[in-house]
Amino acid sequence: MPHPLVTANELAALLDDAASGGAPVRVLDVRWSLGGPAGLPLYREGHIPGAVYVDLDTELARQGEPQEGRHPLPDAADFQAAARGWGLNDGDTVVVYDDWNSLAAGRAWWLLRYMGASDVRVLDGALSAWTTAGHPLAVGADDMTSVVPGAITLSAGHEPVLSADDAASLPANGVLLDARAGERYRGETEPIDPRAGHIPGAISAPTSANLDDAGHFLDPDTLRERYEALGVSVDRAVGVYCGSGVTAAHDALALTVAGFRPAVFPGSWSAWANQPERPVATGATP
């Protein structure tokens, strides 16, 4: 698998090569944040040239029952249709970015991998890395209206996932990580879901610890040390969840950079908390 991160200058070089007849590169703008602002107006104000806007709520998730969580995985056929609408073809290099510490971009990266895309990368440092490096932005929506539909073939199941039952049993013989902020893990606050706390046996692993002060992912050795200190090893199963399955992908990306193969619980806490029969733990310990 190609390295899951790309620097701004590496992306610029890939785009220059593609413009000169080299391998195609598709750039996806996945700006989104819980509670706004909306990503599409930001895209129109300025985006990486050639990028296509992707809506997380409607294209990287589907509507479901509360017991499925707030961002259930989209059906494979629907996702394939969306990806073709972004202009993706089999074998394309796909680069995703946002302006939210790569949290939404991590979801796009993981979902594309789960659906079978072969070369997906996240712009390390998010959009600010691109502008800080001196690269230009395009304005308006011409890059959206000029997309030539692609013919990518996708199907579900190319990355491991956890059901609620899997998440419940994993701490007995593996490691289950909670990617949310520490106060939500401890149950001190819960602004969205019906119950506060964490899955019994889960270990707190906030996404903020994956990045340096500039929003870049830590180097592989440092990330490996971080996760090994939480009990992760190559010979133990590791899974991760968050609030609704979005930021869990950020930990999954960091774990992948560190050399591990994580599974994601897509329903995450929003699914667990809406199943009254599921137990809840609170406090700082698993």
Annotated active-site positions, please? 242
Instruction: Name residue 203's beta-bridge partners.
Output: 177
* Nearest CA-CA partner of 286 in 200, 205, 228: 200
CA distance 52 to 95: 11
Burial readout 50-73 (b: 16 or more C-beta within 10 A, e: otherwise): bbbbbbbeebbbeeeeebbbbbbb
* Amino acid identity for residue 194 in this structure: P
CA distance 48 to 234: 37
Which residues, in sequence order, are CB contacts of 38 under 8 Å at separation 6+?
A: none
